[in-house]
């Protein structure tokens, strides 16, 4: 009887892990995680070749941001190779270009190199991005750039044009590890980062060393095209026959086809759609304008070189069709200019006489064709060339204090010669 009980006790003792066994299991688990992380890191490194032709993915664009940001932050500083970051919405991303090679940031890089400036150009544009989204990206990367170029979208200063709300990508603060202060939280109606943010600190620290944690959304986008939880839910809906009925989508416009070459019915539809958001007067309380002010103040405080420009519109068609009031546009543009220049930064309106692109450069009212993007890049380079020659992160007039871009703004006041081989 006692022997059986003793045997039972020995069996229980064998089942109880010792400290040594726990340490061995922990080491095996850490080794497995390290191997998985190394494999993911190697895959991501080989999968992405970050240069002027690279852009954020169409699906889940912010999932591709952490690796892109890490690459930019890790660039070695070289005064002969200025780092130029382009921020903006679908015109910057290149929604109507045939591919990423023909976006205007990529064309800008080629134009700069043809003029003898070996600029390292990066396209951080995302479809639907607002000034509020650019605020977080610029705040994260301003210290890693020689020049920030921010494309502003005219109709998103109209609240009716911001269909997805005042922050297009609400995951951005968490993705970038950026705190949300009281002013930003009040402007966008989002939660403020607490003073003692333990979870945020832990996530940022782990994200620096743990590739899987940092890149899990990017992997999900590559493998299943959507967040993993959404893919699993969609699969469950399909199995249980509860998936919502899909509406028939409107046929998209062909890319890199000039507006003039579209069918009249397509042209009329495009103009009417834009006209629905083009009649407005900017309010001083508008979230886009307030976020622009906060962004400019942040860049001024950090002595960052930055240029803001209003994205080109097909003014000829918009005014010709009677869907855009030119006087109201000029008044709104003046309000935007006042905010930017109040902080000593440079503002360019590419819809003013002498700078406006011809109607043949557009695929619709707001997006350029490949040829239009090349022309915009040439004109942009002509304006920005004074900022690119002899600049480097941590050097130049901007880094010495006394305002972010007062001297560059004066240089930009006079037209600069187009680079050799460029158009008008």
Residue 422: per-residue pLDDT: 36
CA distances to 279, 333, 341, 397, 414 from 327, rounded to whole Å, are: 11, 10, 21, 36, 25
Q: Tell how many helices (H) and how many strands (E) occur in the chain.
A: 18, 5
Q: What is the mean pLDDT of the segment spanning 63-80?
A: 89
Q: What is the mean pLDDT of the segment spanning 179-187?
A: 93
Element (H, E) at 112: helix 104-114
Residue 25: per-residue pLDDT: 84
Per-residue confidence band for 280, with pLDDT thresholds at 50, 70 and 90: very high
How far, rounded to the nearest angstrom, does the alpha carbon of residue 105 sit from its chain's CA centroid?
A: 12
Instruction: Quote the longest CA-to-CA distance of the chain.
Output: 104
CB atoms within 10 A of CB 322: 9
The CATH number given to 52-169+180-198+257-413 is 3.40.50.1110
Q: How many CA atoms lie within 13 A of 235 on its CB side?
A: 8
Any idea which of 75-89, 246-260, 315-329 has the lowest mean pLDDT? Answer: 246-260
pLDDT (tens digit per residue) in 114-173: 999 999 999 999 999 999 999 999 999 999 999 999 999 999 999 999 987 899 999 899
What percentage of the chain reaches a pLDDT higher than 70? Answer: 73
Under 8 Å CB-to-CB from 47, ≥6 apart: which residues? 222
- Pairing state of beta strands 83-87 and 306-310? unpaired
Residue 209: per-residue pLDDT: 60
How far apart (Å, rounded) are the C-alpha atoms in residues 59 and 93?
13
More confident residue, 34 or 86: 86
Element (H, E) at 290: helix 287-301
DSSP class of 116: T
User: Measured between alpha carbons, how far apart are the two ends of the chain, in Å?
Assistant: 102
Under 8 Å CB-to-CB from 370, ≥6 apart: which residues? 97, 98, 102, 256
110 pLDDT above the threshold of 70: yes
Under 8 Å CB-to-CB from 320, ≥6 apart: which residues? none
User: Would you list the domain boundaries of the chain?
Assistant: 1-47, 52-169+180-198+257-413
Query: Which residues face 87 on adjacent strands?
Result: 150
More confident residue, 58 or 345: 345
288 pLDDT above the threshold of 80: yes
* Mean pLDDT comparison of 364-373, 387-396, 409-418, highest-scoring range: 364-373
What percentage of the chain reaches a pLDDT higher than 90? Answer: 53
Element (H, E) at 198: helix 198-209
More confident residue, 123 or 240: 123
Angle at 387 between CA 381 and CA 393, to 5 degrees: 125
Is the dihedral angle over the CA atoms 212, 216, 222, 224 positive or is it negative? positive
Residue 337: per-residue pLDDT: 98
414 pLDDT above the threshold of 60: no
Residue 249: per-residue pLDDT: 47
Report field, pTM of the whole predicted structure over 0.85: no
How far apart (Å, rounded) are the C-alpha atoms in residues 414 and 72?
31
CB 242 within 8 A of CB 76: no
pLDDT (tens digit per residue) in 90-104: 999 999 999 999 999
Average of per-residue pLDDT values in the chain: 82
């Amino acid at each position: 009887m006692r022997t059986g009980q003793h045997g039972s006790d020995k069996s229980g003792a064998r089942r109880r892990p010792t400290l040594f066994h726990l340490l061995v299991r922990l080491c095996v688990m850490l080794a497995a995680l390290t191997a998985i992380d190394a494999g993911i890191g190697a895959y991501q490194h080989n999968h992405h070749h970050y240069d002027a032709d690279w852009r954020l993915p169409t699906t889940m664009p912010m999932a591709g941001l952490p690796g892109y940001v890490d690459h930019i932050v890790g660039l070695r500083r070289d005064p002969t190779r200025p780092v130029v970051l382009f921020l903006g919405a679908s015109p910057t991303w290149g929604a109507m270009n045939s591919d990423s090679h023909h976006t205007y940031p990529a064309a800008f890089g080629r134009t700069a190199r043809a003029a003898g400036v070996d600029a390292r150009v990066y396209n951080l544009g995302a479809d639907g991005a607002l000034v509020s989204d650019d605020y977080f990206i610029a705040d994260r990367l301003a210290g890693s750039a020689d020049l920030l170029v921010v494309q502003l979208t005219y109709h998103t200063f109209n609240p009716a044009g911001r269909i997805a709300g005042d922050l297009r990508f609400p995951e951005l603060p968490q993705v970038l590890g950026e705190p949300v202060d009281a002013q930003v939280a009040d402007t966008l109606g989002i939660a403020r980062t607490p003073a003692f943010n333990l979870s945020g600190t832990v996530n940022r620290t782990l994200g620096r060393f743990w590739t899987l944690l940092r890149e899990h959304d990017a992997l999900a986008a590559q493998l299943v095209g959507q967040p993993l939880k959404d893919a699993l839910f969609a699969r469950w809906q399909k199995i249980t026959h509860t998936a919502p009925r899909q509406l028939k989508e409107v046929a998209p416009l062909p890319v890199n086809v000039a507006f003039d070459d579209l069918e009249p019915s397509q042209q009329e539809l495009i103009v009417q759609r834009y006209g629905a958001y083009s009649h407005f007067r900017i309010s001083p309380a508008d979230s886009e304008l307030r976020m622009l002010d906060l962004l400019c103040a942040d860049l001024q405080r950090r002595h960052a070189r930055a240029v803001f420009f209003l994205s080109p519109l097909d003014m000829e068609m918009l005014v010709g069709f009677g869907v855009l009031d030119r006087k109201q546009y000029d008044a709104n543009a003046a309000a935007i200019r006042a905010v930017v220049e109040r902080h000593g930064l440079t503002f360019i309106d590419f819809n003013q006489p002498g700078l406006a692109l011809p109607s043949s450069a557009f695929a619709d009212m707001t997006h350029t064709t490949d040829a239009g993007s090349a022309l915009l890049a040439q004109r942009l380079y002509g304006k920005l060339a004074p900022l690119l020659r002899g600049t480097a992160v941590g050097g130049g007039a901007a880094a010495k204090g006394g305002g972010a871009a007062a001297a560059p703004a004066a240089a930009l006041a006079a037209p600069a010669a187009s680079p050799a081989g460029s158009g008008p």
